[in-house]
Amino acid sequence: MPSHSRAIALALLLACGPLAAYAAQAAARPSLAVPLAAGPVRVDGTLDEPAWATAGVASEFLLMVPREGQVPSESTVVRVLRDGDRVVFGIWCGAARKPHCSLAARDQVLDGDHISLHLDTDGDGQRAYIFGVNPWGVQVDGILTGDPDFKWDGVWDAAARRGDHEWTAEIAVPFRILRISAHGRPWRLWVRRELTAWNEVSSWPPYRAGEPGPIMLQAGDLAGLDGARGGRELTVEPYVFGASLGQRSAFAGGGTSAWDDQTEREAGVDVQAALTPSLVANATFNPDFSQIEADALQLDVNRRFPLIFPEKRPFFLEGADHFVTLMDLVLTRRMADPRWGAKVTGRAGAWNTGALLVRDGGGAILGGSGYTPSDDHRLTRPGWYSLGRAQLPFGEGANVGVLAGVHVQDEEDTPALVREKGTYNVFGGFDTQLRLSARWRTEAQMVVSTSRIDSTGTGRSTEPFNDWMGVWRFFYRDKARELHLGARHVGEKFRDELGYQDYAGVTFRRVGGSWDLFPKTGALQRIAPIFDVLLVHDRTGRLELSQIEGSTDFAFRRSAYANAGYLHIDEHWLGRTYPQDRAKLYAEWTAWRPLSLSVDAIAGDAIRYESTSATSNLAWHEVVTFNATVRPEPRITSTANVVRFRLAESYGGTKYLNVLLVGVRTTAQFTRRLSARLYPQYDSGAKHLDVNALLGYVVQPGTVFYAGVNSGWDEDVMTGNRTATSRQFFMKASWRLAR
- What count of Cα atoms within 13 Å lies in the side-chain half-sphere of residue 269? 6
pLDDT at 294: 67
Instruction: State the pLDDT at residue 2.
Output: 45
Indicate the pLDDT class of residue 610, thresholds 50, 70 and 90: very high
pLDDT at 417: 40
Q: How many CB atoms lie within 10 A of CB 737?
A: 12
Is the distance from CB of 542 to CB of 409 less than 8 angstroms? no
Q: How many residues does the chain have?
A: 739
Helix H or strand E segment including 212 = none
**How far is C-alpha 353 from the geometric centre of its chain's CA atoms?**
20
pLDDT digits (tens, 9 = 90+) for 243-267: 999 999 888 777 888 999 999 898 9
Which pLDDT belongs to residue 303?
87
Burial of 719 (0-12, 13-18, 19+ CB in 10 A): exposed
> Mean pLDDT over residues 374-384, rounded?
76
- In sequence order, the 6+-apart residues with CB closer than 8 A to the CB of 683 are 297, 659, 660, 661
User: How much is the average pLDDT of 84-96?
Assistant: 94
How many CB atoms are located within 10 Å of the residue 522 CB? 8
Average pLDDT over residues 222-229: 88
**452: Cα separation from own chain's centroid:** 31
Confidence at residue 308, expressed as pLDDT on a 0 to 100 scale = 79
Q: What is the rounded distance in angstroms from the CA atom of residue 462 to the CA atom of residue 430?
A: 28
18: left (phi over 0), alpha (psi -120 to 50) or beta: alpha
In this prediction, residue 460 carries a pLDDT of 58
**Mean pLDDT (the chain, rounded):** 89
State the Cα–Cα distance between residues 12 and 24, nearest whole angstrom: 18
Cα separations in angstroms, 40 against 44, 48, 50, 160, 178:
12, 11, 9, 18, 22
Q: What is the pLDDT of residues 54-75, one digit of tens each?
A: 999 999 999 998 888 999 999 9
Please report, to the nearest 10 degrees, the dihedral formed by the alpha carbons of residues 270, 271, 274, 279 taken in order: -30
- What residues have CB less than 8 Å from 27, skipping those under 6 apart? none
Enumerate residues 6+ apart whose C-beta is below 8 A from 575: 613
Q: In the prediction, which pLDDT does 277 show?
A: 86
Instruction: Please give the Cα distance from 114 to 76 (Å, whole number).
Output: 12
Total H helices, total E strands in the chain = 2, 39
pLDDT of residue 418: 44
Q: What does the pLDDT average to over 184-188?
A: 89
DSSP 680-711: EEEETTTTEEEEEEEEEEEEETTEEEEEEEEE
The 10s digit of each residue's pLDDT in 120-168 is: 999 989 899 999 999 999 999 999 988 898 988 999 999 999 999 999 9
Q: Which of 692, 712, 739 is nearest to 291 (CA)?
A: 692
Its pTM stands at 0.86
Residue type, 32: L
The rounded distance, in Å, linking the Cα atoms of 644 and 662 is: 9
Contacts of 541 (CB under 8 A, 6+ apart): none
| Class of residue 599 by CB neighbours under 10 A (exposed 0-12, middle 13-18, buried 19+) | middle
Give how far Cα 442 sits from Cα of 66, 391, 433, Å.
27, 16, 6
Average pLDDT over residues 208-234: 86
pLDDT of residue 360: 94
SS3 323: helix
For 520, other C-beta atoms within 10 Å of its C-beta total: 5
As a whole number of angstroms, the distance between CA 417 and CA 191 comes to 66
* Model confidence at 727: pLDDT above 60: yes
Tell me the pLDDT tens digit for each residue of 98-109.
Answer: 888 999 999 999
Strand (E) or helix (H) holding 14: helix 3-28
C-alpha angle 301-302-304 in degrees, rounded to nearest 5: 115
Contact 545, 571 (CB under 8 A): yes
- Residue 721 is predicted with a pLDDT of 86
- All structural domains of the chain, each given as residue ranges with its CATH number in brackets, are 3-223 (2.60.40.1190)
DSSP H or E segment with residue 586: strand 576-592
Residue 21 is predicted with a pLDDT of 45
**For 446-463, what is each residue's pLDDT tens digit?**
999 999 887 555 555 678
